[in-house]
Amino acid sequence: MQKLTSQADWIARAGAVLPAGGFGNFDPGIMIARGEGSHVWDEDGNEYIDYLIGSGPMLLGHGHPEVMEAVLEQLPKGMTFFANNSKGVELAEAIVDAVPCCEQVRFVASGGEADMYAIRLARAYTGRNKILKFEGGYHGMSAEAQMSLAPSTRVNFPQAVPDSAGIPQGVADQMLIAPYNDLAAVEALLNEHKDVAAIIAEPLQRIIPAEPGYLQGLRDLCDKHAVLLIFDEIVTGFRLAYGGAQERYGVTPDICTLGKIIGGGFPLAALGASAEIMQHFDKAVVGSDKWLMQLGTLSGNPIAAAAGLKTMEVLRRKGSYDKLRAIGKSLQDMQSDALTKAGVPHQICGDETLFDIFFTKAACRDYRSAKHDDPAHNVAYNATLRRNGIFKSPGKLYPSLAVTEADLEQTQDAVLKAVEAAFLD
């Protein structure tokens, strides 16, 4: 077979064997060949500063030498066993030590799986069926999670709108949808519906911050109505702080889900809760009627566990989170300063460790308000960043600890060009 060398050739090849030409994740018009530190290269050799970082897991950057050493040490010992292994146990211990709500954890291979099982666990524990989620909240690809994730039409709350074909109406009937950052709406739903098992929320919804007191308000309402609170910390876990959003905001959920960073770049996720709640995974304790079956071929595999353990060790070192926040603040300020100077209305939305810009005067507090006044400006802005060596999602920017001063200088140059191209030309 003739060797394919150009990116265009690879894209054409992908188009023949992959629906829509991609894996369903990111722009199929770019083919990444390799990553090192804070940079990635496409198949044509173009170099980019990476602010996508695999959609979050590469917090230390690509190919971190200590993580690589840990993985290479484990590889000859075995890659997966479908059985308990010491690295997985060590990782579980480290998570329990770090995350306030976790007395026990159960491993899965992806964040979407973790969220699916968290919802099922809440139903098993409470004996109730309905789940309250927030419009625009992302919780993976399960049928429940695909309710009102990104609805293109507005409907009255709490009606659930499926974002995917193939989901039965019965799933929508068990879902209640509320606007984020609106405690009154949540309270009204809990007063009306007495069969709610859990509220599932991102403590930072995509990049929309919880308003002061909002997360504690959810905690209080859940306690009042005997409803479980699930924090989806797939993104925020070990990013906002070592103990995740629970540590950062001082609010402890009943169940949380974790992913991305805990696998160090390999497929691994987890859900955790108190031993009382987690006992539903133990048939010998709860009996067959209340037992929650869960298994997965690669759950807790030692390669991912070794990578996650080393990543977490590096993050525990003094100054790691101060450095990450300083990098994020620099990235925020350089963009806000350039846009302000150009007279462009904008909102920096998110946390220093994860954020992006909405080109609008309006406050961004929920799915319906967090939008650009003119989406074409965002398209032009991000396209110019890409042409000038910046690799990021159109809706998120992930700082990493691998970002250097030289990277920040190059990013600032790209930002100035992007502002000019999107708003001043």
Catalytic residue numbers read 138, 232, 260
- From CA 100, how far away is CA 169, in angstroms rounded? 36
- From CA 103, how far away is CA 324, in angstroms rounded? 28
- From CA 333, how far away is CA 203, in angstroms rounded? 24
Written as one letter, the residue type at 150 is A
DSSP assignment of 236-266 equals TBTTTBTTHHHHHHT---SEEEE-GGGGTTS
Give the number of other CB atoms < 10 A from CB of residue 289. Answer: 7
- The size of the chain, in residues, is 425
- Residue 254's contacts (CB-CB under 8 Å, 6 or more residues apart) are 101, 122, 198, 222, 228, 229, 230, 273, 274, 277
Q: Are strands 347-351 and 32-36 parallel, antiparallel or unpaired?
A: unpaired
- From CA 247, how far away is CA 239, in angstroms rounded? 11
Phi and psi torsions of 412, nearest 5°:
-65, -40
* Residues 302 and 74 sit within 8 Å (Cβ to Cβ): yes
* Residues 40 and 387 sit within 8 Å (Cβ to Cβ): no
Q: Identify the DSSP state of 162.
A: B
Q: Identify the DSSP state of 424.
A: I
